[in-house]
Amino acid sequence: MRILPPDQIVLDHVAARETAIVGRAVDWANVNSGSRNSSGLAHVLALLEAEAHSLSAEVVRIPTRGSTSVGDDGTVRADAHADALMIRARPDAPVQIILTGHYDTVFPVGSGFHTVSTRPDGALNGPGIADMKGGISVMLAALEAFETHPDRDGVGWTVLLSPDEEIGSPASAPLLAELGARGHIGMTYEPALADGTLAGARKGSGNYHLIVSGKAAHAGRAFHEGANAVAGAAILAARLHALNDQREGVTVNVAAISGGGPLNVVADNAVVRFNVRVPDAQASTWVADAVAEIAAEPPFPGLTLDLHGGMTRAPKPMDASQTALFEAVRDTGALLGQTLAWKPSGGVCEGNNLHAAGLPNIDTLGVLGGDIHSDQEFAWPDSFVERAQLSALILCKVASGEIDALKLKSLRLETM
């Protein structure tokens, strides 16, 4: 492969817009859009929708399905979620690229971390600037530039920007599955590591909420008439924790126990919240069965158990399709003087969903940064153009056939 004159025009288009590419990401990051902040999500969605109209593409809001959540008192409630944004061009082209990202962040309403600043070393520090409002800006910049390429008509693309990735994509999962099934290559814009390393194989993940119901009683006068849900929850948490080290690569993290009340009352409610990570499908089945067995047996009489949640993202191994795609991206990066490597990650993202639906994908095409999910989150401003040019050149090489999207898709289907 080499950079051809039409490719260079695309790359120059990206470089010429550096100020706008960085600036709009900063503007978006200055608006809180935590996954449960409906007004903030609506604000950012409107900003993204307005920006998307600069592309020669169909722009539509897609309603997402509802989900359920469990309160600290064990109450199960129905939750609504913001719309997803779909941007689509040439859906009938022979090659289809699926690009995904999320506009929610982990920072809730009222978070003290709410604006972007520039550190003394030049890095941008702000909520979502790397994960992934910077990534969304990079994605759109690549598409804007690719639309100037003479071979663009052979490639259709669909963007899905979702509102719920940081809470496991409960509302957008069906949309991701649908797109993954009909695309040939996926491109997702989680941040790369600070040195540009990509995530390769990813573990699968599940989120669970185990409701423990007991019987209230006076702690002094009628202690033995009660059934202490908090004590039961503690025993169950220990049983769950004991699953660690029983199977290679499987981890069970008991994240929180809530419930109870006054010191003189036997607690009648508690919730155990935990996350599991698994390296492969067999391990996923094993841990799901083990959790179900624990949740089926109250630790002592008087308690009832109600398990909610489950595996939210399947493992994403480095199969033949993933390996071939990574090698093609590495070679594309080399044309730009970028040295790209990848390594396994215990983290999960929409790339897991897309792979499970049959789509080979690279899911760390976003900006270079780090310390995500903390008030130290940062992104290097110079990486915005660098990463947008990488995505743009990948699109050019798919259009020229130098990256064979149809072959990559067939490799993935062979392993399903």
Report whether 101 contacts 333 (CB < 8 A).
no
pLDDT at 195: 84
pLDDT in tens, 381-398: 999 999 999 999 999 999
Give the tokens for residue 379: 């992104």
Find out whether the peptide bond into 86 is cis, omega within 30 degrees of 0: no
What are the distances in angstroms from CA 195 to CA 191, 330, 339, 341? Answer: 11, 14, 10, 10
pLDDT in tens, 152-168: 999 999 999 999 999 99
pLDDT at 193: 84
pLDDT at 5: 97
pLDDT at 181: 97
Helices (H), 336-381: 350-356
pLDDT at 194: 78
pLDDT at 278: 97
* CA atoms in the 13 A half-sphere facing the CB of 332: 27
pLDDT at 416: 82
pLDDT at 196: 87
What are the distances in angstroms from CA 211 to CA 205, 215, 256? Answer: 20, 13, 12
pLDDT in tens, 295-315: 999 999 999 999 999 999 999
Domains of the chain are 5-70+80-201+315-414 (3.40.630.10), 204-313 (3.30.70.360)
Ranges of residues in the chain with a pLDDT under 70 are none
